[in-house]
A and B are shown apart, each in its own frame.
Chain A
Amino acid sequence: MQSETSARQWDGTLSPNDFNSSVAAFCERWKEVNDSLPQWLWEPFPVVGDSSCNAAGYLTMENVYHQNASEEVSHEESILGDEDLSDDATLVQSCGKDDIHVYDYHIVYSFNFRVPVLYFRGYRLDGCPLKLEDIEKDLPAYSLKGLRESKWTFMTQEDHPYLRRPWYTLHPCGTSDWLKVLIGSNAANNQPRPLHYLSAWLSVVGQAVGLRIPLGLYKSQ
């Protein structure tokens, strides 16, 4: 009975230690599900004066190719809407190298919001960084809508908290609210299992930026 009460009270956030546990469980599961995909790695970033703070650092997955049948391919193809079915080799050929976008994704723990935050950047094969309008082509429609309607509060360029360079990020101020709804009701105890937290979070955040997530991650173990 007590756990029920706490389940209702769980506010959708997680502590630094829980973030750490979640990261470990999540990486392991990601590898299990698909060994051939790019892997998530934990990059510790020790904090001056507080080296015991083990949530300082970021989870990184880099060099993720995003092959999108962009508008430039051909109008007929886009209208048919069968981009996913078209042959990859043809796609690369017709798009040219310029249309292959490479993304780096970092997951950072926000000590203020007490939730994970996604940072990402995109570039072309030649290393040239993508502009916002290039990135927009890789985003699903609802993210574009969010981008248009809330230019300043949905996705913006911010300093990466550890690398201190501009990266794109999704604003975390509402994260705990939707996580509470998404997993709060399913959590058996007063908090969700570590794996569940990051997977659930990424199922929403990853899709918002066009990051494909292996379905196997969500199959029961």
Chain B
Amino acid sequence: MAVFSEEAAKYVWGGAIPLQIRLHESEVTTLPPPPPALVLGSRIGYFPLLVPLIKPYFSSTLPPGEDTVWFDYNGLPLKWYVPIGVLFDLLSAEPERPWNLTVHFRGYPGDVLTPCDSEDTVKWSYINSLKEAAYVINGNSKNIMNMAQTDQFDLWQSLVKGNMDGYLRISSRLKLGPVGEDCFLKQASSLQPRQAIDEPDPVGSSRPSRIPVRLYIRNVGESLEDLEDAPIIDSWDRISYINRAVEIHKEGGNYMTLKHAMRTLLPEIFGEEDPDNKYELREEGNHEAGSSFGDPETISMTRNDLVEETSFGCQRSSEASLIRIQGIEPDLNIPFSWVVNNLKNPDYFLHLCVFLRTSPRQAKAT
């Protein structure tokens, strides 16, 4: 398998969600109301970028006032800085095509959404995200901060226009990958999920690489087969959002699969043994990573309480969860390096949606 597959990248860049967008009824001033706008939303794009496309459909019917455009799905205001494809994968559990959304030109919900008054806001959110990813990968953001203005502009424009070749030309100069195929877990003897992010480099080993990942986790009701019945997300409080780096090593240990990566991110969900991986779990005895500052338990929270509140464990991973990346539900045994190189977004983050089955006990709690 090639480190980087242009074919896969083309699928990611070409991926689009058919959107059927209605104007919110409170903003309709004409009879009959305007028909919905049908547009394609690029998976790697952002909702504010669709505004110039959508506005002509509705501009004649809007009440007087200034435009502050935002979108909602079933009443949930959509976070504009999350790529469209990720929002779709996350919120439309049973993929709904076209995806029925509502657009608003008035009444921006400033208590839920960060302000977005221009394309520049989106561009800088993207650049800041890229900086964060670069920091994770290289330990600094210099390559992004030192980018020529023209390169920065061209990079952004290539994303806006869906021009993959232009994007690859500029981004290849940023030295942010691809990740080599030789990507491993730590030596089996020291395999500890926690340790992966907690410890400084052990003396003598080559510096591990870190992969930037954004995880979005939601509960989808009692069955992962019947996603149509998944409860509607009416608040962002129902989504867990985790920003973590996955550490990979250039030598030794086991070949790293997507499942291994998930295990370092969510040990209680993906840390279950299956016959193939039993030998690794035996090594996970001493759980606490060393700390140069002493006892990590000094903070006034008791671990037991937390486990009580959030335990999704004790379930086999295949039953407990389902992963979606770029609309795909990938096999957990594929190499993590392939997933990263080919399914990451143009901000160099791997955006991953995780669906969890709600056990009856949790259903009661929420």
List chain B residues, Cβ under 8 A from A164. Answer: 112, 236-237, 239, 241
Chain B residues within 8 Å of chain A by Cβ, number: 65
In the complex, which residues of chain A have a beta carbon less than 8 angstroms from the beta carbon of B269?
A: 48-49
The residue in chain B whose Cβ has the minimal distance to the Cβ of A150 is B124
Please indicate which of the listed interface residues A42, A112, A161 has the most CB atoms of chain B within 10 Å of its own CB: A112
- Residue of chain B at shortest CB distance from A18: B293
**Which residues on the B side are within 8 Å of A16 (C-beta)?**
197-198
Asked if B105 CB lies within 8 Å of chain A CBs, one says: no
A16, B244: Cα distance in complex, Å: 11
B84 CB within 8 Å of chain A? no
Q: Is the CB of A173 within 8 A of B306?
A: no
Inter-chain contacts of A50 with B (CB < 8 A):
242, 265-268
Closest to B237 in A: A164
Cα distance, A194 to B293, chains bound together (Å): 6
Instruction: Give the contacts of A130-185 with B (CB-CB under 8 A).
Output: 152-153, 156-159, 161, 164-166, 171, 173, 177
In the complex, what distance in Å separates the CA atom of A111 from the CA atom of B213? 11
Are the CB atoms of A44 and B197 closer together than 8 Å? Answer: no
Known A21-B296, A54-B301; judge A111-B197 contact (CB<8 A): yes
Q: Does B55 contact A (CB under 8 A)?
A: no
Q: What is the CB-to-nearest-CB distance from A36 to chain B, in angstroms, rounded to a whole number? A: 21
* B294: chain A residues within 8 A (beta carbon): 21, 194
Is B44's beta carbon under 8 Å from chain A? no
Report the Cα distance A158→B197, complex, angstroms: 24
The distance in angstroms between the C-alpha atoms of A104 and B355, with both chains bound, is: 33
Asked if A52 lies at the interface with its beta carbon under 8 angstroms from chain B, I say: yes
Contact in complex: A112, B306 (CB < 8 Å): no
- Determine if A20 and B135 form an interchain contact, defined as CB atoms under 8 angstroms apart: no
Of B25-33, B167-175, B307-315, B333-341, the one with at least 4 CB within 8 A of chain A:
B307-315
Given A153-B124, A157-B115, A173-B141: A57 and B242 interface contact (C-beta under 8 Å): no
A20-B298, A159-B79 as given contacts; A52 in contact with B291, CB under 8 Å:
no
Contacts of B240 in A (CB 8 A): 47-49
Encoded as 1 (CB less than 8 Å from any A CB) or 0, chain B from 130 to 174 comes to: 011001100111000100000000000000000000000000000
* Contact residues in B for A156 (Cβ distance below 8 Å): 114, 124, 128
Number of interface residues, chain A, beta carbon within 8 A: 46
A151 → chain B, closest Cβ, in Å?
8
Partner of B298, one of A21, A110, A152, A158: A21
CB within 8 A of B312: which of A49, A161, A177, A189? A49
Contact of A20 among B243, B299, B311 (CB under 8 A): B299
Asked if B189 CB lies within 8 Å of chain A CBs, one says: no
Interface: B113 (CB within 8 A): yes
Interface mask (B272-312 → A, CB under 8 Å = 1, otherwise 0): 00000000000000010101111111111101001101111
The residue that A17 contacts in the complex, of B145, B217, B241, B296, with Cβ under 8 A, is B296
Q: Is B78 interfacial (CB 8 A cutoff)?
A: no
A110–B139 Cα distance when bound, in Å, is 13
A51 at the interface (CB under 8 A from B): yes
Closest to B133 in A: A112
Please give, as numbers and ranges, the residues of chain A lying within 8 Å of B239 by CB-CB distance.
164
CA distance A112 to B134 in the complex (A): 10
Q: Out of B120, B236, B245, name the residue touching A112 (CB < 8 Å).
A: B245
Query: Does B194 have its Cβ within 8 Å of any Cβ on chain A?
Result: yes
Do the beta carbons of B309 and A51 come within 8 Å of each other?
A: yes
- Residues in chain B near residue A110, CB distance under 8 A: 243
- CB of A46 closer than 8 Å to a CB of B: yes
Known: A15-B199, A51-B303, A51-B309. 6 other contacts (CB 8 A): A51-B268, A51-B307, A54-B296, A173-B131, A173-B141, A177-B140
A-side residues, CB < 8 A to B, are: 11, 15-18, 20-25, 42, 44, 46-54, 57, 110-113, 129, 152-153, 156-159, 161, 164-166, 171, 173, 177, 189-191, 193-194
Question: 6 smallest A-B Cβ distances: which pairs?
Answer: A49-B266, A21-B293, A152-B124, A17-B296, A17-B291, A49-B269
Pairs A–B under 8 Å by Cβ, sample size 22: A16-B197, A17-B198, A18-B292, A20-B298, A21-B298, A24-B298, A49-B217, A49-B240, A49-B310, A49-B312, A49-B356, A50-B266, A51-B310, A53-B194, A54-B303, A112-B136, A152-B127, A161-B243, A165-B112, A166-B112, A173-B128, A191-B293
